[in-house]
Structure 1
Amino acid sequence: MNGPVIDYQDVFRALPGAVALLTRDLVYADANEAFLAVSGRTREQLIGRYLFDVFPDNPNDPSANGVRNLHASLERVMATGERDTMALQRYDVEDPERPGVWHERYWSPVNAPVLAADGTVALLLHRVEEVTEFMTARGSGGGRARVLEAELYTRARELQAINERLRDAHAREREVALHLQEAMLPAPRPLGHHRAAVRYRPAAGALNVCGDWYDLADLPGTDHTAVALAVGDVVGHGLRAAGVMGQLRSALSAASRVADGPAEALDVLGLYARSVDGAESATAVSVFVDWTTHTLAYSSAGHPPPALCGPDGAVVLLDRATDPPLGARPEHVPRPQARTGFTEGSVLVLYTDGLVERRREDIDAGLDRLARSLARHRRADPETLADALLADLVPPSGLTDDTALIVLRL
């Protein structure tokens, strides 16, 4: 059935709400008639101009923060690809007919992304509703109404101050998180003449620290001919999950140096995890690489399988020694271990589930994407290969789960 032909530009212009479109550089791309009316500007005074050149802060108000708050909201939309509803905002506007004369104005803004076909943010939709008359109690509302409106204004200012303190606290927490992440997930030390790369990516909108981790270690007495690699994933995000992650990573790193193989190392970690609050259902996978025998020994505690790519591009998933997550069994049972050979020049990749899992999608689809990308870029050096895998597998809107990654040239 054929419907009417809709001219969406006409629809945009006729919207009863005040709406403007901004480029990623915060330049006005378009504005509807309602926006022009409420802002007191003509189309020529807006289109092609930088937002904050048209609407700067009131220089006569030392407490003015409209530019800062609006800019922060628009940056959040570009970073997350999600709509951001701002708190009630005072944002004075200069009279276009009388330069230097400013009018006290109050707004309720909402900013939303306009996505391109590839999922990236192409434009920003900026919608405003003016509430100046309500907030300043103009008109004949009576004394009681004016008192109520003044009280609402006071509460709005208090909420705004609270929001600013929360933003400052979030900034401090993020700084702590960055230092914590650097301390617990350092760059790997050289593994003899073997080249490795690691990557860590938090979920979009999260602190730069989470429960995903990686570890690389030379095995004692092997003179760089054997190494232990591991990645793991603690349920949750933020500083608490990172604290649990640090305990498990350290425990497995220590156990790997004295264990006979990856299964025994995970056995020790599983027993230790029972005494750590927050370690329930954590997953991990460990691989011991032996260059003398050209073999890999591996064991998994509920974790996605490592991927081994040969020089010919054939990709094998190491999935023959998978057991439940840490602490999942009511009684301790020794974990399985498998072994496979490798050809010199192969590439081994360990990762956490954020790299391959997507909502409403079977995990096999993500594993297929990983295998195709790994085969395509297999000849690249580990650093380049790690970046290529992230470029191919991370969606344009960002990760919905944290991700850790190890790439080792065998």
Structure 2
Amino acid sequence: MAETTIDYAAVYQALPGMVALLTPELVYADANEAYLRGTGRSGEEVVGRYLFDVFPGNPNDPDATGPRNLQASLLRVLSTGEPDTMALQRYDVERPDRPGEWEKRYWSPVNTPVLGANGKVVLIVHRIEEVTELIRARGRGRGGEARMLEAELYTRARELQELNNRLRQAHAREREVALALQESMLPAHRQVGGHRAAVRYRPAVGALNVCGDWYDLVDLVSGHRIGVSVGDVVGHGLAAAGVMGQLRSALTAASRVAGGPAQALDVVGRYAHVVDGAESATAVTTFVDFDRHTITYSSAGHPPPVLVHHDGRVELLDRATDPPLDADPDPVPRPEASTTFAPGATLVLYTDGLIERRGEDIDVGLLRLAEALRRHRTQDPETLADIVLLELLPPGGATDDTALVVVRL
């Protein structure tokens, strides 16, 4: 069978449902024939214009919630990169043939992101299911019943919106508590072992997406050495924050007495088996010896640290990777590897929120990180940390927590 080239633009225009494409600035990029016909607008009146300039709120009804609810939904899509299905909305539309006269319309919008190669939202597919005609038909046949149905639908939509608002407020309060807990457990280290270090923590976009990731820097007991670690707990909110605190404290204590990073992770792995919520938690720890100019490291299912040498060579510390902390009920000694560095090199540890993007191979994110670090390696740790977050995280924030540690060796 011969291959057929599909004209997707023609398919889009032929869709029977009302569909428009919006830019991240909420400007119409396109609208199909059904959308233009259903809204009573021409392409020239829509394309290239801000959505809420084309369809503003009804000035005669300040209590109308349709425009506000739609804007909130679109902003959620931009910030999370996830689709958002709205409850039935009453959205009054000014009649194009009678300026100043507003018509009641009933729509159920579905807003879906289109992601670019970098994981950022480049377009929003704004689809509308309209039930206005159903209500009108009922009104023509059974006037009283139709008015009751209209009122009931409108009331239910308002109640659902109010419930959503209360849930978001409750989630926001939990987020504040979790952030406060995270800040108390993840202090802002500026220097360790006499060396400059920068740390960053960025909670994920969303009310509860916080406190799964952690970092730690500690002066080790013997010699001119430090331990640098990061970890990731599955889940978000207060429960994840509690587990994070337990694992971080356990690794800090183990690192001070262990013979190396692998032994420290062995101890924490056994501890993770008795901690509820520690399932599939990952961690990587490095022991930096400044007298010998060596880095010894071990990873429990975590993305590899990055060592940026003074000459620009980027080395992934990926030769000692094992399953997550609690993966083996009868754990065996974890692997350990070492590498050397010269003064002026930079060690970077991070969590997967920095490099992972939906629909993209993780190697692409690693290459993006390596290139950013290579280009900006001469910057001081504080500046370098800010640059890395700016270049690698989506503008609206990532959908996963991000922890980052930068140490100048």
Give the TM interval when normalised to the shorter protein.
Answer: 0.7 to 0.9
Counterpart residue number, 2:161: 160
Counterpart residue number, 1:52: 52
User: Structure 2: how far apart are the matches of 1:347 and 1:339?
Assistant: 15
Structure 1, residues 7-54: CA drift from partner, whole Å, max 9, x if none? 93x665554433334343333444444434433445555455433233
Q: Counterparts of 1:120-269 in structure 2 under 5 Å?
A: 120-135=120-135, 137-141=138-142, 154-191=155-192, 193-202=194-203, 207-219=208-220, 225-269=224-268
Cα separation, partners in 2 of 1:41 and 1:307, compared to 1, 3 Å: closer
Cα separation, partners in 2 of 1:386 and 1:138, compared to 1, 3 Å: same
Q: Give the TM-score normalised by structure 1.
A: 0.81
User: Structure 1: how far apart are the matches of 2:311 and 2:267?
Assistant: 37
The one-letter code matched in structure 2 to 1:130 is: E
Q: Secondary structure at the match of 1:138?
A: helix
Q: Which runs of 5+ in 2 are unaligned?
A: none
Q: Which moved more, 1:42-51 or 1:288-297?
A: 42-51
User: Structure 2: how far apart are the matches of 1:163 and 1:206?
Assistant: 12
Q: Counterparts of 1:296-315 in structure 2 under 5 Å?
A: 296-315=295-314
The one-letter code matched in structure 2 to 1:72 is: A
Cα separation, partners in 2 of 1:27 and 1:271, compared to 1, 3 Å: closer
Q: Counterparts of 1:71-90 in structure 2 under 5 Å?
A: 71-90=71-90
**Contact 2:94–2:101 (CA under 8 A) maintained in structure 1:** yes
**Contact 1:226–1:291 (CA under 8 A) maintained in structure 2:** yes
Cα separation, partners in 2 of 1:130 and 1:271, compared to 1, 3 Å: closer
Cα separation, partners in 2 of 1:185 and 1:135, compared to 1, 3 Å: farther
Q: Which runs of 5+ in 1 are unaligned?
A: none
Q: Secondary structure at the match of 2:233?
A: strand
Counterpart residue number, 1:19: 19
User: Structure 1: how far apart are the matches of 2:126 and 2:371?
Assistant: 40
Structure 1 residue 215: deviation in Å?
Answer: 0.7
Aligned length in residues: 407
**Contact 1:135–1:152 (CA under 8 A) maintained in structure 2:** no
Q: Which moved more, 1:162-171 or 1:390-399?
A: 390-399
User: Structure 1: how far apart are the matches of 2:343 and 2:382?
Assistant: 18
User: Structure 2: how far apart are the matches of 1:118 and 1:280?
Assistant: 30
Cα separation, partners in 2 of 1:13 and 1:278, compared to 1, 3 Å: closer
Q: Which moved more, 1:103-112 or 1:13-22?
A: 13-22
**Contact 2:18–2:127 (CA under 8 A) maintained in structure 1:** yes
Structure 1 residue 378: deviation in Å?
Answer: 3.1
**Contact 2:190–2:197 (CA under 8 A) maintained in structure 1:** no
**Contact 1:119–1:397 (CA under 8 A) maintained in structure 2:** no
**Contact 1:31–1:43 (CA under 8 A) maintained in structure 2:** yes
The one-letter code matched in structure 1 to 2:132 is: T
The one-letter code matched in structure 2 to 1:127 is: R
Structure 1 residue 346: deviation in Å?
Answer: 1.5
**Contact 2:94–2:103 (CA under 8 A) maintained in structure 1:** yes
User: Structure 1: how far apart are the matches of 2:111 and 2:349?
Assistant: 39
The one-letter code matched in structure 2 to 1:102 is: W
**Contact 1:177–1:208 (CA under 8 A) maintained in structure 2:** no
Cα separation, partners in 2 of 1:305 and 1:115, compared to 1, 3 Å: closer
The one-letter code matched in structure 1 to 2:239 is: R
Q: Secondary structure at the match of 2:311?
A: coil
User: Structure 1: how far apart are the matches of 2:21 and 2:280?
Assistant: 46
User: Structure 1: how far apart are the matches of 2:115 and 2:329?
Assistant: 48
RMSD: 3.8
User: Structure 2: how far apart are the matches of 1:118 and 1:305?
Assistant: 21
The one-letter code matched in structure 2 to 1:247 is: Q
**Contact 1:296–1:342 (CA under 8 A) maintained in structure 2:** yes
User: Structure 1: how far apart are the matches of 2:391 and 2:93?
Assistant: 46
User: Does 2:280 match 1:281?
Assistant: yes
Counterpart residue number, 1:104: 104
User: Structure 1: how far apart are the matches of 2:133 and 2:50?
Assistant: 27
User: Structure 1: how far apart are the matches of 2:284 and 2:227?
Assistant: 11
Cα separation, partners in 2 of 1:130 and 1:362, compared to 1, 3 Å: closer
The one-letter code matched in structure 1 to 2:245 is: G
Cα separation, partners in 2 of 1:333 and 1:78, compared to 1, 3 Å: closer
**Contact 1:215–1:229 (CA under 8 A) maintained in structure 2:** yes
**Contact 1:21–1:29 (CA under 8 A) maintained in structure 2:** yes
Cα separation, partners in 2 of 1:171 and 1:298, compared to 1, 3 Å: same
User: Structure 2: how far apart are the matches of 1:11 and 1:360?
Assistant: 24
**Contact 2:139–2:145 (CA under 8 A) maintained in structure 1:** no
Structure 1 residue 69: deviation in Å?
Answer: 0.6
Q: Secondary structure at the match of 1:285?
A: strand
The one-letter code matched in structure 2 to 1:351 is: Y
Structure 1 residue 105: deviation in Å?
Answer: 2.2
